[in-house]
Structure 1
């Protein structure tokens, strides 16, 4: 999701109204074609394409805003729940949970087992809205077994809602600001997913006892300050960026960027860049003036993990707390990124442990990710809110 847009919405502090109907009465010819409202099927195709190409799920809100008409693509949404792309599954699960198709509750119940915690979390809230009594056993199992406490709390909340029981303030706090009363606009269900609250990371002393080789962000440890590390280590690439071959702002480049990782393959150079806030990105350089941005996200780390090259992105700013693990694959001239894991928050400390597992301490808690993709939640040592 586009973090700049998220920050703008959050900073406004008000629900975003659904888009008004377009008035095409005064338009004609090609203007009408540009202004006319898209069908549910067209809107869904657009949403899926953007989720795949830009890793952004905000287009699914347009589908929800269509109201009853969106129900015509319910079956297509069900098919997308098995999509290999986690963002497509997330968008489909979120949207389906707002459809008036309670008969599809078994499909959302399947999503409770999704490896991506965001999908499981979304399924809990969709089943809650539907009052899906048939999902109670599955929710109970999820509440006992999921690695992430926030998902377990969402399952508990869903069960109470289905039974028409009022959750206490502690449970509401643990789930987060996603209760239906706060969802007066279809858009709100998207950005609010990334607002996880206060810092819940592990203390430095506890992290040190784990014994792993920490990969620190150069942003925190840049002796020269500014973008000196990029300029000194990769002067040609620095010149390409600073001359404006990649448009400022659109490319995530500014004078505060620091190097967070690099790789040379053939004639290509891949650089991970980070800043403290919105900038940064993963760039590939091939030739004197050829540069492509693979990710427009704040890249906190770019390194090898068990034979894979991964990029950790994250943002913790103005109430937004989000972190992702991407795999970077391909060869010179044909690089791609794919989402591997959604983290509980923005990475603070991370590194590969002696046994090959990946440790990431985030603002939402510390996790260890196994080679098989399974998560172990280490928490922070603090009690969960309301407990």
Structure 2
């Protein structure tokens, strides 16, 4: 009797296609899971040992078959075991588009126990219940919006829309904090989901049953969707033109979606209140804000140097050509080397052929190499009719905008500070009169910012928690201090004294022989010198993304010392000193070593002085 083997083959194929069962798992999976108990020791993911990292990689390569075991381990009573399990689950989730909903309780348990990588896993459980849970946790997390919850919105934006609308419609009302966080979530929506989101949100705005404050918040939120929301532009314009009570929020939305009215709106705002951050926002809008160019260009001659600089920078990004001639003049403006750099690049961005002669001259003759290089690049862009590429990710536009703050000139491996000492300086007088410094102390205060709920955060998450500070909980702290000056110089009837406390601030003060004292300037003071017939203060700070340096001229006017900006440095001062010639040398962050003469001219230091004092 004969028989067919086909049914046996079919059964075998079905068994292998469904994945291993608990009773029939590969030995490698069982061994790997068992080893978690042996190697687990870290209490936090950033403390993982090399053995733990290797095991996590090994388990993640097994894939989703490991998830049932790992999900069970999230409930283990040993913290170190749950840390390894959570990290392995996150690694597996990276390689899949969705996670089975049966693991939702375990993932929520892990999140309740502060496993910070699990939001990415929760995002991939693509059920309504998981979406509601995800949004709720995002809104209640102290570190939102700058945390991993943003990933889910960028991966599956439209899937969160019903939960977002439900939250907005809540009977309890929409808090300002939730409105802000929902706006940040919408900003991360994929471009393909923007139109649908805008339509849904606009229905809420137009619904008569929506609360007034909620309508304001939702209008602002729509702007976070960007150009995809232009599908509702006409409806927002109707509100902007006809409903004065909602005009501010409508303006915010129109600018955010890059409406045809963007330039007009921003120009009005700039006219009402000139502001560097507004100039940066106008630049980020780009050519859609070109009609604001006339208003921006007016700031090229503003008394505030930062506004002047911002105006020159913004013009290049929006493509406004009405100020080319003034920008050509600013390439050689002696007071601000940063402005020279910005004006040169802006002319390159504008592809201004009328600027070629000035740019070619600057490329050959400007005293600072960074400006020469920028002018040379601008000439190349104009002649080749090519555009500038972004140096930073488009989401990091502030870095792009403030790129002029770091000019890229590295310091020598060993540079030297001049040892020439002005006999009227504090250091010279102190050598002869050690008791002098005690008489020149003065009162000041340190201003800092923290979280109003710092103690609550520590109680909830432990003393080693990174304190979250945001718009909702930020408070100012002021502490009175007595300052021993770092630098000073003798002047008639008293002293000009300065202090540099790094990120904690600094100031320039006058202290009279009769103990009168007053603050002249709130800046970090690196040095005070007599340069020719002038008294000058070298000021600035390099901290995190900040890199600013300014030289002030100090004048005695109407019985008081006053400070006026005289020259900008190509970077914050790291140190300074006076040469035998009387010129002042300044070592800057990113701008090289520069020398300033009494007539206000700068030059690069050809050679650093003899190594009586050195800094590496």
Instruction: Specify the TM-score bucket, using the shorter chain as the normaliser.
Output: 0.5 to 0.7
In structure 2, what is the equivalent of residue 347 of structure 1? 573
In structure 2, what is the equivalent of residue 137 of structure 1? 357
Q: Could you tell me how far apart the structure 2 residues matched to 1:181 and 1:273 are?
A: 36
Q: Match of 1:158, SS? A: helix
Q: Could you tell me how far apart the structure 2 residues matched to 1:102 and 1:183 are?
A: 26
- Bigger shift: 308-317 or 153-162? 308-317
**CA apart distance, 1:131:** 2.3
In structure 1, what is the equivalent of residue 529 of structure 2? 303
Q: Match of 1:313, SS? A: strand
Alignment of 1:1-387 (within 5 A): 26=213, 39-44=266-271, 46-47=273-274, 57-65=276-284, 70-83=289-302, 85-102=304-321, 104-115=323-334, 116-164=336-384, 180-182=390-392, 184=394, 186-197=397-408, 199-201=410-412, 203-204=414-415, 212-213=420-421, 232-235=438-441, 237-238=442-443, 241=444, 246=445, 248-249=447-448, 258-261=485-488, 270-284=496-510, 293-318=519-544, 320-331=546-557, 335-363=561-589, 364-378=591-605
Q: 1:39 to 1:86 in 2, by over 3 A?
A: closer
Q: 1:378 to 1:200 in 2, by over 3 A?
A: same
Preserved CA contact (<8 Å) 2:529 2:536? yes
Q: Could you tell me how far apart the structure 1 residues matched to 2:399 and 2:479 are?
A: 26
**CA apart distance, 1:59:** 4.5
**CA apart distance, 1:69:** 7.1
**CA apart distance, 1:151:** 0.5
Q: Could you tell me how far apart the structure 1 residues matched to 2:359 and 2:278 are?
A: 28
Q: Which has the larger radius of gyration?
A: 2
Preserved CA contact (<8 Å) 1:80 1:88? yes
**CA apart distance, 1:179:** 5.3
Cα deviation, 1:226-274, whole Å, max 9, x if unaligned, reads: xx99972334x24xx3xxxx463488976887422256666x8653111
Q: Could you tell me how far apart the structure 2 residues matched to 1:25 and 1:289 are?
A: 58
**CA apart distance, 1:335:** 4.5
Cα deviation, 1:70-118, whole Å, max 9, x if unaligned, reads: 4444234434434455434312211222223235433322221222211
**CA apart distance, 1:374:** 1.3
What is the TM-score normalised by the length of structure 1? 0.66
What is the TM-score normalised by the length of structure 2? 0.44
Q: Match of 2:527, SS? A: strand
Q: Match of 2:309, SS? A: helix
Q: Match of 1:101, SS? A: coil
Give 1 or 2: higher strand fraction: 1
- Bigger shift: 139-148 or 320-329? 320-329
**CA apart distance, 1:327:** 1.4
Q: Match of 2:384, SS? A: coil
Q: Match of 2:355, SS? A: helix
**CA apart distance, 1:44:** 4.5
In structure 1, what is the equivalent of residue 88 of structure 2? none
Preserved CA contact (<8 Å) 1:262 1:272? no
Q: Could you tell me how far apart the structure 2 residues matched to 1:92 and 1:257 are?
A: 39
Q: 1:143 to 1:230 in 2, by over 3 A?
A: farther
Give 1 or 2: higher helix fraction: 2
Q: 1:341 to 1:75 in 2, by over 3 A?
A: same
Q: Match of 2:594, SS? A: strand
**CA apart distance, 1:121:** 0.7
Q: 1:213 to 1:203 in 2, by over 3 A?
A: farther
Q: Could you tell me how far apart the structure 1 residues matched to 2:574 and 2:547 are?
A: 11
* Structure having greater relative contact order (Cα 8 Å, sep ≥ 6): 1
- Bigger shift: 333-342 or 136-145? 333-342
Preserved CA contact (<8 Å) 1:195 1:320? no
**CA apart distance, 1:148:** 0.3
Structure 2: which 5+ runs fail to align? 1-146, 148-183, 188-204, 206-210, 218-243, 253-264, 449-476, 609-616
Q: CA RMSD in A?
A: 4.7
In structure 2, what is the equivalent of residue 3 of structure 1? none
Q: Could you tell me how far apart the structure 2 residues matched to 1:307 and 1:253 are?
A: 36
